[in-house]
Chain A
Amino acid sequence: MKRAIPAVISAATALTLVLGGCGGGDEPVDPNAPVTITLAGWSLASTPEFKTLADGFKATHPNVTVELKEYAPGNDYDTQMITDLAAGTAPDVYVMKNLKNFYTYQSGGQLLDVSDATTDLGSSPALASYQVDGKAYAVPYRQDSWVLYYNKDLFAKAKVPLPDGSWTWDDYTDAAKRLHTGLKGAGSNATGAYQHTFQSTVQGFALAQTPNADLLSGDFGFLKPYYERSLDLQASGAQPTFGTAKTNKLTYQAQFGKQQSAMLLMGTWYVATLLNQRKSGDADKFQWGMAPAPQFDKSTTGTSATPVTFGDPTGLGINPKISKSKAAVAKDFLKYAAGPEAGKALAGIGITPAQATDAVTASLFGLDGVPQDELSKFAYAKHTIKPENPVSKHTAGLQNLLNETHSTILSDSKGVDAALSEAQTRAKNEVLNQ
């Protein structure tokens, strides 16, 4: 009952502010006058990317200060940001962590049209995600994709051949089981693979790789083979069960970093985390590598083809309440953040920028502790990335529903067919008809 109260307060505040008329003046602008714009970020102490962007922009625009505003990490970021936007107290430039809530911001009129900032950015699927009716409402500055991380030492211990880029999901399942047997034989407790509890670990791949799969169609049959393989891996003991991962609050960072599991499917953001944890001692120092995510069928495998994976871009948008005098500077900042210069700076701290260039790859692989083999470079640089979330008003509802389906199936509460048909019924009657 009390839960609705903050929302009402924010509404009331928003109303007061609208009536009070908070708007910027539009006096003529001297391009060299000192100006400050505010930028949203989270966990500033442990997330250096925002400061990197702010400092990098300052180098080319000495009169501009980008001031960071700290928000809550995780899903609370969006809750907090939506409240602040509604109340009119949000920063000038803010981050869209994924595409799930982009529709909410854009359709709610909380994003400035930034089409003129995207003219030099070429065209990319990430850029297209932020376009509505031919206008751009945000720019991508990061584009992570999901790859396969593997522990070379554990592979050697289990005497299983290393990934070579030719894997389909069946090959992956097979390798996980052989690792499991091999490691057991060698007296190790490590599991063949670790599948984290995120719904994306199954659904993201299924949606990106299955031909003609469409979340908004309300037909979820494409998930079936992906779930069957996960259940198979759980049942055989080749990966910790979903129940254990949930109840024991397992983290993927400790599972892979502390050599508890030989393989891990995860986004490229984990590179920076792993490097930091190797330095701090939270992760062991072992030989590791990256391989392309396992594929739907043979047609996209091998290093001469382009593997298909998924990942939402991370974008920057401008708060429409920004004063007119600052809007131009904010757009310049977006141009910079999405451009090649910022890309190199971000790659220098282990973060994958939106524009994948050879310079970016070289910059990332120049970091201490990153594997130097060709397959890792290939996995990092070459792929087709499909978004995890379609831009639609139904996305948040569908993803919530599918997250419930995810735990239903992986906890063996219902069979795959029964759970998927229930999900389809619910999608039709509770989400898609709204």
Chain B
Amino acid sequence: MATLPRTRPKYRRLVWRNTVAGWSFILPNFIGFVGLTLLPVAVLFYVAFTNWNVFGVAEWTGTANFRRLWSDASFWTALRNTVYYAVFHIPLTLAAALGLALLLNRKLRGVRFFRTVAFFPYITSIVAIAVVWNQLFSPEYGPINALLGAVGVDNPPGWTASATWSMPAVIIVGTWRYMGYYMLLFLAGLQTIPAQLYEAAETDGASPWQRFVHVTMPGLRHTTFFVTVLLTIESFKVFDLILVMTGGGPGQSTLVLSQYIYQKGFEENQFGYASAVSIVLFAICFGITVIQFWVNKRRNS
């Protein structure tokens, strides 16, 4: 009996010490995260229900912003364009990244050099990328159209200078930019597949294609899931690439949601309305991610 009171303070002290140690590890990052991300996001959920215009007070307007959104043709255009970008950008980047990873997962001479080259677009300044690609795409003076003309295309597309072709142009550049990054993730995933599995498959007389389908694909399942989630969020949030390449134009042909938020908020000072659009974008990203996790779970079980 006499020993109990003595151990308890000791135990408490230990818990206290662990808690302090734990918090002190995450605190530097956590302070920044709370101050610069978490709190503003919480405030955003309030601002979205007001008519705040940067100066003066934010009047509570209830669901007015969301009702306006429902009948706002530009919002629907931006949503359509965002989906357009995502639907093409996700599978294309996934395929390109996986292809590159398989190609560069061998014992080749200079393989490191090629891996670095594939990763270059991802670390290059986005503004430089936009300027150079725009010049390549230039309808009358660009090498791309000169090449197309040389192989007998009569009416080459106007790319970023035409409403029909501007989004495909942005998707091409987006895919080219991000494939190197996701290639790295796939490379890491490929390294984890045991070599014995391939040897066994070869002994059983599996063709390269069968090996890919029955060994590589299942082995990469977790990586593929992770990459798909990242790609989806990245596609719906696309902003910088569009802003520097086309500015949303010509017309509204490449206007995406995050740019629409920027326009309404920072150009027209309708922060309440812009926050409401942000919430919709957040809900879309959140919803899709939840569905992806759910599908992944079911497959795993």
Contact A429-B73, Cβ < 8 Å, known A3-B258, A7-B265, A396-B269? yes
Kindly list chain A residues whose C-beta atoms are within 8 Å of the C-beta of B53: 104, 108
A8-16, A282-290, A343-351 - interface stretch: A8-16
**Which segment, of B138-146, B170-178, B195-203, B207-215, faces chain A?**
B138-146
Which one, B88-96, B109-117, B160-168, B216-224, is touching chain A? B160-168
The secondary structure that dominates the A interface is helix
Nearest CB of chain B from residue A8's CB, rounded to whole Å: 4
Q: Is B267 an interface residue (CB 8 A)?
A: yes
With A5-B41, A12-B43 as given contacts, are A246 and B160 in contact (CB-CB < 8 Å)? yes
Is there contact, CB below 8 Å, between B162 and A243?
yes
Does B18 lie at the interface of the complex (its beta carbon under 8 Å from any beta carbon of A)?
A: no
Distance in angstroms between the alpha carbons of A82 and B54 in the assembled complex: 8
Q: Is the CB of B47 within 8 A of A413?
A: no
A5 is contacted by which of B36, B137, B138, B248 (Cβ under 8 Å)? B36
Bound Cα distance from A404 to B239, whole angstroms: 17
Cβ 8 A contact of A411, one of B163, B262, B267: B163
User: In the bound complex, do residue B47 and residue A8 qualify as a contact, i.e. CB atoms below 8 Å apart?
Assistant: yes
Q: B138 to chain A: which residues have CB within 8 Å?
A: 243-244, 247-248
A413 and B250 contacting across the interface, CB-CB below 8 Å: yes
Does B74 contact A4, Cβ atoms closer than 8 Å? no
Contact status A109-B47, CB under 8 Å: no
List B contacts of A110 (CB < 8 A): 55
- Scan A404-433; emit 1 where CB is below 8 A from any B CB, else 0: 110110111110000100000110011000
A241 within 8 A of B: yes
Q: Please determine whether A8 and B43 come into contact, CB atoms closer than 8 angstroms.
A: yes
CB neighbors of A among B202-244 (8 A): 237, 239
Contact residues of A between 78 and 101, Cβ < 8 Å to B:
79, 82, 85-86
Cβ of B182 within 8 Å of any chain A Cβ, yes or no, is no
Q: Which residues of A contact B267 (CB under 8 A)?
A: 75, 396, 400
| A9-B40 contact given A1-B237, A248-B141, A396-B269, CB 8 Å threshold | yes
Across the interface, which residues of A come within 8 angstroms of B162, CB to CB? 243, 411-413
Cα of A425 to Cα of B134 in the assembled complex, Å? 32
Q: Within the assembled complex, what's the spacing in Å between the Cα atoms of A400 and B255?
A: 12
Residue of A8, A82, A244, A410 touching B40 (CB-CB under 8 A): A8
Chain B residue numbers with a CB within 8 Å of A4 are 40, 44, 47, 261, 265, 271, 274-275, 278
List B contacts of A310 (CB < 8 A): none
Contact (Cβ within 8 A) A109 B55: yes
Q: How far is the CA of A30 from the CA of B174 in the complex (A)?
A: 63
In the complex, whether B135 has a CB less than 8 A from a CB of chain A is: yes
Min Cβ gap B163→A in Å is: 3
Give A239-272 as 1s and 0s: 1 = Cβ < 8 Å from B's Cβ atoms. 0011110111100000000000000000000000
Complex contacts, A429 vs chain B, CB 8 Å: 71-73
B185 beta carbon closer than 8 Å to chain A: no
Check if B56 sits within 8 Å of A109, measured CB to CB.
yes
A244 shortest CB reach to chain B, Å: 5
Check if A5 sits within 8 Å of B161, measured CB to CB: no
Q: Which of A3, A11, A408, A411 contacts B158 (CB 8 A)?
A: A411
Contacts A108-B56, A247-B138 given: A408-B271 contact, CB under 8 Å?
no
Q: Tell whether, in the assembled complex, residue A413 and residue B251 are in contact, meaning their CB atoms are under 8 Å apart.
A: yes
Whole-angstrom distance from the CB of A68 to the nearest CB of chain B? 24
Contact assessment for A7 and B54 in the assembled complex, using a CB-CB cutoff below 8 Å: yes
Beta-carbon contact of A248 and B134 below 8 Å:
yes
- Do B278 and A3 have beta carbons less than 8 Å apart? yes
B249 within 8 A of A: yes
Does B252 interact with chain A (Cβ within 8 Å)? yes
With most chain B CB atoms within 10 A of its CB, the pick from A243, A414, A430 is: A243
Q: Is the CB of A369 closer than 8 A to any CB of chain B?
A: no
Q: Is B37 an interface residue (CB 8 A)?
A: yes
Whether B55 lies near A86 (C-beta < 8 A) is: yes
Interface 1/0s, chain A 102-123, versus B by CB < 8 A?
A: 0010011110000000000000
- Residue A302 lies at the interface, judged by CB distance under 8 Å to chain B: no
Cα distance, A75 to B36, chains bound together (Å)? 25
Picked from A82, A247, A397, A408, the residue with its CB within 8 Å of the CB of B160 is A247
Is B268 interfacial (CB-CB < 8 Å)? Answer: yes
Chain B residues with Cβ under 8 A from A109's Cβ?
Answer: 55-56
| CB of B30 within 8 Å of the partner chain | no
Query: Do B281 and A1 touch across chains, with their CB atoms under 8 A apart?
Result: yes
CA distance A411 to B162 in the complex (A): 6
Flag whether B266 is at the interface (Cβ < 8 A): yes
With a cutoff of 8 Å between Cβ atoms, the chain A residues found around residue B161 in the complex are 241-244, 246-247, 411
**A8, B52: Cα distance in complex, Å:** 10
Which of B73, B134, B258, B263 interacts with A247 by CB under 8 Å? B134
Q: Do A411 and B250 form a contact, CB below 8 Å, given A1-B258, A241-B140, A429-B71?
A: yes
On whether the beta carbons of A430 and B43 are closer than 8 Å, the reply is no
Interface core residue of B56, B71, B131, B274 (most chain A CB under 10 Å): B56
* Contact between A243 and B139, CB atoms less than 8 A apart: yes
Whether, in the assembled complex, B81 has its beta carbon less than 8 Å from a beta carbon of chain A, the answer is no
- Shortest distance from the beta carbon of A390 to any chain B beta carbon, whole Å: 15
Flag if B249 contacts A404 (CB, 8 Å): yes
How many Å from the CB of A424 to the closest CB on chain B?
A: 13
Chain B residues positioned under 8 Å from A425 (CB to CB)? 73
- Kindly list chain A residues whose C-beta atoms are within 8 Å of the C-beta of B163: 408, 411, 413-414
Q: Are B74 and A430 in contact (CB under 8 A)?
A: yes
Q: Is B293 an interface residue (CB 8 A)?
A: no
A5 and B258 CA atoms in complex are apart in Å by 13
Q: List 22 A-B contacts (CB under 8 A).
A: A3-B261, A3-B278, A4-B40, A4-B261, A4-B271, A5-B36, A5-B41, A11-B43, A79-B266, A110-B55, A243-B138, A243-B139, A243-B160, A243-B162, A246-B249, A248-B138, A249-B135, A400-B263, A404-B252, A405-B251, A407-B250, A414-B251
| Interface residue ranges, B against A (CB under 8 Å) | 36-37, 39-41, 43-44, 47, 52-56, 58, 68, 71-74, 131, 134-135, 137-142, 158-164, 237, 239, 248-253, 255, 258, 261-263, 265-271, 274-275, 278, 281-282, 285
Q: A1-B281, A3-B258, A404-B255 are in contact. List 20 more A-B contacts (CB 8 A).
A: A1-B237, A2-B37, A3-B265, A4-B271, A5-B37, A5-B40, A8-B43, A11-B271, A79-B266, A104-B53, A104-B54, A108-B53, A243-B138, A244-B138, A244-B161, A404-B248, A411-B162, A411-B250, A413-B251, A434-B68
3 tightest A-B contacts by CB?
A243-B161, A108-B55, A408-B251
